[in-house]
Structure 1
Amino acid sequence: MIAWRAICLIDFFKYNWTVRDEWFTWCKQLTPEQLLMTRTGGIGNILHTLFHIVEVEYSWNRAIQEKEDSVLQFDDYHTLEKVKQLSYSCRNEITGFLQSDLTKLENETVIAAWDNTELSKVDILHHVIIHEIHHIGQLSIWARELNLEPVSASFINRTL
């Protein structure tokens, strides 16, 4: 993988983390009932969607590193503060991996514990980035349904 491609991947992870942190702050204006209210689409509610984003990112990154999957359960992280702390904890581990030589992943594949398909490690990193962006769009729709301004998804003028 060309070095600039690796830098772009890191920048997009940083972008996702920045936007996610803004969503955590945004969520503080909601009641626990609003965070857990069943909604159309996605994982079903705001808090579980945020948990799902973290859990998927963490699981795929562990798979890329060929580490044992650490199954996380939403029932163990049923408050905004617990999901936020989980996000920071997982991010610390992922940051260490992203600071390694990502160029070596260019031609590497892996089979995740939950999938019998051989997958490109670079494709998985791209998938993880896009997965979060997809769910951020769902959160934005739910924010508008609450008559609230969503977090900006713009990449422009963000300090990463």
Structure 2
Amino acid sequence: MKSLFLYNWQVREEWFALCEQLPCEELLKHRTGGVGSILATLIHIIDVEYSWFCAIHDKEDRPIEASSFQTIEAVKALSDSLQSELQSYLHDDMDRESQHLVDVPWDNAMYSRSAIYAHLIAHEIHHIGQLSVWAREAQLEPVSAGFVGRKLG
């Protein structure tokens, strides 16, 4: 699963680079699907990932206030900051205690770490598909979703 997290992070970086070509109005434009806009969807991806990692490691979740991040540069800086924190978890315990159950504050159920990791991978890929549609609407070629041939790690 570690390679899929690295894949998602690499693809996310490519989306940030692509989005730098778009004017702010296009990034904030209300769209059907996702959480309403390109920028809000990217923030949502980051927020969900961070929240689940906090739950796994019994850390207090710090919800991300989307209104604090109104440019692609600010969202990329947020992603970079949180990703550097998450990398230590990714490398230290991705395979360790994979069946350990995690209690999350936003749900009454408990989930295994491995189920959470799989959910996070699928969640980001799902939203990347939405971004691809929106990129085409903005007359841009979307980031490649291909996994094979990427240099990960």
The TM-score range, normalised by the shorter chain, is over 0.9
SS for the counterpart of 2:92 is coil
CA-to-aligned-CA distance 1:46-74 (integer Å, 9 cap, x gap)? 01111111111111011111111111110
CA shift at 1:87, angstroms?
0.3
Alpha-carbon contact 2:33-2:130 (below 8 Å) kept: yes
Is 1:102 aligned with 2:94? yes
Post-superposition CA distance 1:91-117 (Å, at most 9, x none): 011100111133332220011111121
Match among 24, 33, 48 for residue 41 of structure 1: 33
The answer to whether the 8 Å contact 1:16/1:132 transfers is yes
Unaligned runs of 5+ residues in structure 1 are 1-8
Secondary structure of the residue aligned to 1:100 is helix
Once the two structures are superposed, the pairs formed by residues 145-160 of structure 1 within 5 Å of their partners are: 145-160=137-152
CA distance in 1, matches of 2:93, 2:129: 31
Selected match of 1:27 from 11, 19, 22: 19
On the 8 A contact 2:98/2:113 being kept in 1, the answer is yes
Report what 1:6 is aligned to. none
> What root-mean-square deviation, in Å, do the aligned CA atoms of Structure 1 and Structure 2 show?
1.0
The answer to whether structure 1 residue 74 and structure 2 residue 62 are counterparts is no
Cα pair 2:2 2:94 within 8 Å, conserved: no
TM-score, with length taken from structure 1: 0.92
TM-score with structure 2 setting the length: 0.96
> Residue deviations 1:118-160, cap 9 Å, x none?
1111100100011000000000001111221100000011111
Size of the alignment, in residue pairs?
152
Where 2:111 maps in the other structure, the secondary structure is strand
Which stretches in structure 2 are left out of the alignment for 5+ residues?
Answer: none
User: 1:127-146, aligned counterparts within 5 Å?
Assistant: 127-146=119-138
Q: Quick one: structure 1 residues 102 and 29, their matched pair in 2 at CA, closer, same or farther if it must change by over 3 Å?
A: closer
